[in-house]
Amino acid sequence: MNLRSTPHGLLPLTDTGSVPLYRQVKRELLRLIESGRCGPGETLPSETEISRALQVSIGTLRKAVDELVHEHVLVRRQGKGTYVALHNDDRFLFHFFHVEPRQDLRYGEAGPEREYPLVECVEFEKARADEMEAAALRIKPGDPVFRIDNRLSLDGRAVVHDHLVISALLFKGLTEKCFRERPSTIYNLYQTNHGITVLRAQERARATAASRQVARILGIPAGQPVLEVHRIALTFGEKPVEFRISTINTQSHDYVSVLSKRM
The answer on 243 and 173 residing in a single domain is yes
**CA-CA distances (angstroms) from residue 247 to 160, 207, 217, 240?**
6, 10, 10, 20
Interatomic CA distance for residues 188 and 194, integer angstroms: 9
Average pLDDT over the chain, rounded to an integer: 88
The answer on 238 and 119 residing in a single domain is yes
pLDDT of residue 56: 92
The answer on 229 and 123 residing in a single domain is yes
pLDDT of residue 6: 55
CATH of the domain at 155: 3.40.1410.10
Reply yes or no on whether the pLDDT at 93 is more than 90: no
* Number of Cβ within a 10 Å radius of residue 102: 13
Any bridge partners for residue 155, and if so which? none
Q: Looking at the domain assignment, is residue 53 inside a domain?
A: yes
CATH of the domain at 71: 1.10.10.10
The answer on 80 and 120 residing in a single domain is no
Q: Terminus-to-terminus CA distance in the chain, angstroms?
A: 39
Interatomic CA distance for residues 201 and 220, integer angstroms: 28
- The secondary element (H helix, E strand) that includes residue 26 is helix 21-34
Mean pLDDT over 143-160 rounds to: 96
Report pLDDT digits (tens) over 3-60.
344 556 787 787 666 888 999 999 999 988 888 888 888 899 889 999 999 999 999 9
Ramachandran sector of residue 96 (left: φ over 0; alpha: ψ -120 to 50; beta: rest): alpha
Q: Which domain holds residue 185?
A: 104-253
Cβ 55 vs Cβ 26: under 8 Å: no
Report pLDDT digits (tens) over 107-147.
455 555 677 899 999 999 999 999 999 999 999 999 999 99
Percentage of residues in the chain with pLDDT exceeding 90?
Answer: 59
- Split into its structural domains, the chain has a count of 2
Report pLDDT digits (tens) over 53-91.
999 999 999 999 999 988 888 988 888 889 988 887 676
Interatomic CA distance for residues 164 and 125, integer angstroms: 11
